[in-house]
Amino acid sequence: MSNTAQPRAWVAAIQIEKRLRAELKKNSFWHRTVRELRTALHHAYESTIFADFQFAQANEVEQQLWKSCFYKPIEEFRSRLRVAQQAAQGVTALAGATPEEALEQSAMLTTAYTKFLASAEEAYKRLVARLQWELGDVGAAVEVPSGEMQALQQAAPPSAGKGNTAIATAVHRCLIYLGDICRYRSQVVRPKEEQERALAYYQQAASVLPTSGNPYNQMAVVAYYGSDELRAVYYYFRSLGVSCPFVTARENLLLLFERNRARYAKLPPRPPGPGQGITPGDVATRMVRLAGLMFDRINLEQLTPTRAAAIAALRQLLGE
């Protein structure tokens, strides 16, 4: 396709991407010039989406917007935070800094990182609202400040009808990104609160596009890192059981089963007798092992005793 057939904003985005890559070779990802280019790139990509939505979908503009303007900085923040935190604990050295200095740097990075995630969340909430206002409502609900929503509505007329599958796919993708932003934030501040917010976004994504397995895979990740293996297995199964399964969910599930196998090996073949105590965690470990045997269909000779022990443990936990 020639440049004359491409949205002007797309042509600008390509040039800004080149400048951004060149600048990153000379300066930090948080250098003022880099941040200004990233902001300009964000504007160019978003302008492309609304200038020619069909073109934007065909050229994966939303994915490029996320990767270049948000995901790459997030990965850089996470990498630098890991190094600073390890140095603060005395595990590794940080350019000759003392553990105290590394701790101070970790705190500064955390502050900058959480501010960046907050701005990213606001940007994607505005994008979800704008997509539905201009291109068609698909039922997603996000909170946008009234002043910003009013400005958005004054800038363009509302869509004449409901959004189609393409609009739903775009909004669904944005909701996934919103969930990911909250999930990343849960790793540095307010773990429980941010995990719940991430799940709420993923659930909306699943509601907007029920055929997609992606939201369920993300829910499984949240459950797993919240030490709820059994719930993670449920979500991974759902991720694989829809008409558009999330293929990576299978690899994630097999890895979960492999890790569970080691914990299961430490349990007695049968649960302890009545009155000797059993925990929900023991029951979950047995149930996950049972699910693993049925899923990969290896070592099926273990299926019957594993099932009997899992059911016995569950009954004991329930007081039967």
Residue 3 has pLDDT above 70, yes or no: no
Residue 54 lies in a domain: yes
Residue 96: the pLDDT is 63
Question: Mean pLDDT lowest for which of 115-124, 185-194, 265-274, 295-304?
Answer: 265-274
* For range 161-165, the mean pLDDT: 88
Mean pLDDT of the chain: 92
The pLDDT assigned to 210 comes to: 97
pLDDT tops 50 at residue 172:
yes
- Residue 258 CA to residue 291 CA, distance in Å, equals 12
Mean pLDDT computed over 298-309: 91
What is the pLDDT, as a whole number, of residue 254?
A: 96
Whether residue 263 is contained in a domain is answered as: no
pLDDT single digits (tens) 231-279? 999 999 999 999 999 999 999 999 999 999 999 999 988 877 665 678 8
Per-residue confidence band for 41, with pLDDT thresholds at 50, 70 and 90: very high
More confident residue, 192 or 275: 192
Please check whether residue 251 lies inside any domain of the structure: no
Domain tally, the chain? 1
Q: What is the pTM of this model?
A: 0.92
- What residues form DSSP beta bridges with 4? none
Q: Given a cut of 90, is residue 57 above it in pLDDT?
A: yes
Return the minimum-mean-pLDDT range out of 32-46, 84-98, 214-228: 84-98
Question: For residue 86, which of 69, 64, 103 has the smallest C-alpha distance?
Answer: 103
Tell me, yes or no, whether 15 lies in a domain. yes
* Structural domain range at position 82: 3-246
The answer to whether position 232 is within a domain reads yes
Confidence of residue 131 (pLDDT cuts 50, 70, 90): very high
**What's the rounded mean pLDDT across residues 61-66?**
97
Mean pLDDT of 22-42: 96
Q: Does residue 298 have a pLDDT over 90? A: no
Domain contains 155: yes
Any domain includes 158: yes
Question: Residue 13 maps to which CATH number?
Answer: 1.25.40.10
Count, residues in the chain: 320
User: Which range, of 14-23, 151-160, 266-275, 311-320, averages the lowest pLDDT?
Assistant: 266-275
Mean predicted confidence (pLDDT) in 276-287: 89
pLDDT for 2: 40
**The predicted structure's pLDDT at residue 182:** 98
CA dist 86 and 80 (Å) reads 10
314 domain residue, yes or no: no
Segment 67-116, tens digit of pLDDT = 999 999 999 999 999 888 888 776 665 556 777 788 888 899 999 999 99
